[in-house]
């Protein structure tokens, strides 16, 4: 049967995420299918013509996704948003020009002067910076706490707490946070719960089903998956999405339609990629843990991870991200990196390429995190490894090369 708008009739069983990820029309919600292209159409026009003035006004006010002016909405963008909403099982989803575009626009949409925010202490450095900027300029009070311990969050929330901001697994420490328990605490004071799920993605973790109000992605990472698109996404209730959509018109952080089209293509292989990445990352984590060169290793599905039980509960797979440190700190890390034959050093993550980064060695990161590192001290020389889809034996071979170089120097 061809995919068409009749498939959401509540009688047929829902399609699997593996299928929703592939077909452009499978997630299009109840709209007539206007085109017979198998691939999603890409409209390279920023403006649409109205048949008359009332119709143009109608598009502006009610349905800019059908085509009005691209900052407000766009049909190709909408197809990508609907696919992400389907994968997150959300009422609605929105795309942005970057992950930070999604985060900053969503925070601006829901926060007001006088509001209180509780955030996990070890989240993406520029998210911390943006929250600190709001605290310095917009009258928003932000408390960063160690949300691995739900009691700390319980102690921090107050009557005027409007938002609990989480990121799990976190970048770069791979902290695992208990979304269901923390959402329960935040909801006692009617605070919204935002979860940056970039390191997991919708095939692995569904924060909305665990009580979160908004799931956020840097879609530049595994959603797009090929290191060629900068994009951000959020998914949640229609009501929350509507507030954020209005703010997106003002921040102008809309995603270029061509990037939306690349994102749609990247999403088609998301299930295949995350399964391969999780499998390789799981065996690499074991290899690293067994090495006498390694002093610290965090991978959600390793039994030694402090959040292992939570990870097994809320994640379907371990994901492709892990971080580790070596005996001998930064010197050993430099030796390790110097011995690699082909794994590139690169700042981003979640793509088909295996890449690694040493956050401490990036001056901008050290400056951004600044004093905050003291409160959640990362092990010196921490390596963040993003596992790609290359042959597992080649990745393991290069990692062993690095470990051998560290061991032979000690």
Ligand X SMILES: Cc1ncc(COP(=O)(O)O)c(C=O)c1O
Considering the complex, state which of residue 212 and residue 405 has its C-beta at the smaller distance from ligand X: 212
- Does 355 sit near ligand X (CB under 6 A)? no
Contact status: 220 vs ligand X (CB under 6 A): yes
For the CB of residue 206, give the shortest distance to ligand X in the complex, in Å: 17
Q: Counting every residue, how long is the chain?
A: 410
**Site membership for ligand X, residue 218 (CB under 6 A):** yes
Is 167 an interacting residue with respect to ligand X (CB under 6 A)? yes
Q: Which residues pair with 195 in a beta bridge?
A: 166, 215
Residue 278 interacts with ligand X (CB under 6 A): yes or no: no
Choose among 326, 329, 357: nearest CA to 343: 357
- One character per residue 55-84, x = contact with ligand X (rule: CB under 6 A): ------------------------------
C-alpha distances (whole Å) from 37 to each of 2, 40, 41, 234, 251 are 12, 7, 7, 27, 33
Q: What torsion do the CA atoms of 340, 346, 350, 354 make, to the nearest 10 degrees?
A: -20
| Position with the least CB separation from ligand X | 99
Give the single-character DSSP code of 47: B
> Rounded to an integer, what distance in angstroms lies between the CA atom of residue 94 and that of residue 110?
15
Instruction: Tell me which of 100, 166, 259, 383 binds ligand X, using CB under 6 A.
Output: 100
Q: Which is nearer to ligand X, 115 or 196 (CB)?
A: 196
Q: Considering the complex, state which of residue 99 and residue 257 has its C-beta at the smaller distance from ligand X.
A: 99
Shortest Cβ distance from residue 128 to ligand X (Å)? 11
Name 187's Cβ contacts closer than 8 Å, sequence gap at least 6.
Answer: 193, 211
171 is a contact residue toward ligand X (CB under 6 A): yes
Looking up tokens 């006010």 gives 61
CB closer to ligand X out of 59 and 234: 234
301 phi and psi angles, rounded to 5 deg: -95, 10
Q: Which among 23-31, 56-64, 94-102, 286-294 is the span making contact with ligand X, rule CB under 6 A?
A: 94-102
In angstroms, give the least distance from the CB of 220 to ligand X: 4
Nearer to ligand X, 28 or 117 (CB): 117
Per-residue contact string for residues 230-259; x = within reach of ligand X by CB under 6 A: x-x---------------------------
| Minimal distance, residue 346 CB to ligand X, in Å | 11
Kindly tell me which of 383 and 405 has the beta carbon lying closer to ligand X: 383
Closest distance to ligand X from the beta carbon of 97 (Å): 8
Report the interhelical angle of 392-408 vs 329-339 (nearest 10°): 130
Q: Which is nearer to ligand X, 108 or 405 (CB)?
A: 108
Q: For ligand X, which is the closer residue by CB, 42 or 227?
A: 227
Nearest approach, Cβ of residue 155 and ligand X (Å): 25
Does the footprint of ligand X cover residue 119 (CB under 6 A)?
Answer: no
Spell out the long-range contacts of 210-213 with Cβ–Cβ below 8 A and sequence spacing 24 or more.
210/179, 210/180, 210/183, 210/314, 211/179, 211/180, 211/183, 211/184, 211/187, 212/166, 212/179, 212/183, 212/236, 213/183, 213/237, 213/240
Task: Report angle CA 367, 372, 374 to the nearest 5 degrees.
Answer: 105
Nearer to ligand X, 189 or 227 (CB): 227
88 contacts 208 by C-beta, under 8 angstroms: yes
> Is 232 or 381 the residue whose CB approaches ligand X more closely?
232
The beta-strand segments (E) located in 219-303 are 232-236, 294-298
Closest listed residue to residue 366, CA positions, set 358, 334, 350, 346: 358
319 lies in the binding site for ligand X (CB under 6 A): no
Q: Is 103 helix (H, G, I), strand (E, B) or coil?
A: helix
Residue 124 within binding range of ligand X, rule CB under 6 A: yes
**Segment near ligand X (CB under 6 A), from 25-33, 76-84, 98-106, 272-280?**
98-106
Q: Is 198 in the site for ligand X (CB under 6 A)?
A: yes
First to last CA, the chain: 64
Nearer to ligand X, 183 or 365 (CB): 365
**Should residue 99 be labelled a site residue for ligand X when binding is judged by CB under 6 A?**
yes
Helices 99-110, 238-251: crossing angle, 10 deg rounding: 110
Tell the smallest beta-carbon distance from residue 105 to ligand X (Å).
11
Q: Which residues bind ligand X (CB under 6 A)?
A: 98-100, 124, 167, 171, 196, 198, 218, 220, 230, 232
């Amino acid at each position: 049967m061809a995919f068409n708008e009749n498939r959401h009739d509540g009688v047929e069983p829902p399609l699997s995420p593996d299928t929703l990820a592939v077909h452009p029309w499978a997630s299009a919600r109840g709209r007539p299918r206007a085109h017979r292209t198998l691939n999603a159409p890409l409209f390279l026009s920023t403006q649409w013509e109205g048949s008359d003035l009332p119709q143009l006004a109608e598009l502006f006010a009610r349905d800019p996704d059908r085509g009005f002016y691209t900052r407000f909405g766009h049909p190709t963008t909408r197809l990508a948003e609907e696919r992400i909403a389907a994968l997150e099982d959300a009422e609605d989803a929105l795309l942005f020009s970057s992950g930070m575009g999604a985060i900053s626009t969503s925070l601006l949409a829901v926060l007001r002067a006088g509001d209180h925010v509780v955030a996990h202490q070890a989240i993406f450095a520029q998210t911390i910076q943006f929250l600190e900027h709001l605290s310095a300029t917009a009258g928003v009070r932000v408390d960063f706490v160690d949300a691995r311990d739900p009691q700390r969050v319980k102690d921090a929330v107050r009557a005027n707490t409007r938002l609990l901001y989480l990121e799990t697994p976190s970048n770069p420490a791979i902290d695992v946070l208990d979304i269901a328990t923390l959402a329960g605490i935040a909801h006692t004071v009617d605070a919204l719960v935002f979860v940056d799920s970039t390191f997991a993605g919708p095939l692995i973790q569904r924060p909305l089903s665990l009580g979160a109000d908004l799931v956020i992605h840097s879609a530049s990472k595994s959603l797009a998956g090929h290191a060629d698109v900068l994009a951000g996404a959020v998914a949640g209730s229609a009501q929350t999405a509507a507030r954020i959509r209005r703010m997106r018109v003002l921040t102008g952080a809309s995603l270029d339609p061509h990037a939306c089209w690349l994102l749609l293509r990247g999403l088609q292989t998301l299930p295949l990629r995350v399964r391969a990445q999780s499998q390789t990352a799981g065996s690499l984590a074991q290899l690293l843990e067994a090495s006498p060169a390694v002093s610290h290793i965090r991978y959600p599905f390793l039994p030694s991870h402090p959040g292992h039980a939570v990870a097994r509960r809320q994640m379907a797979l371990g994901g492709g991200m892990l971080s580790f440190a070596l005996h001998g700190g930064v010197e050993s890390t430099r030796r390790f990196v110097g011995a690699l034959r082909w794994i590139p050093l690169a700042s981003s993550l979640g793509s088909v390429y295996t890449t690694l980064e040493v956050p401490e060695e990036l001056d901008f990161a050290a400056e951004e995190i600044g004093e905050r590192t003291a409160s959640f001290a990362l092990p010196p020389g921490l390596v963040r490894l993003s596992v790609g889809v290359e042959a597992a034996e080649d990745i393991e071979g290069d990692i062993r090369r690095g470990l051998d170089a560290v061991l032979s120097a000690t």
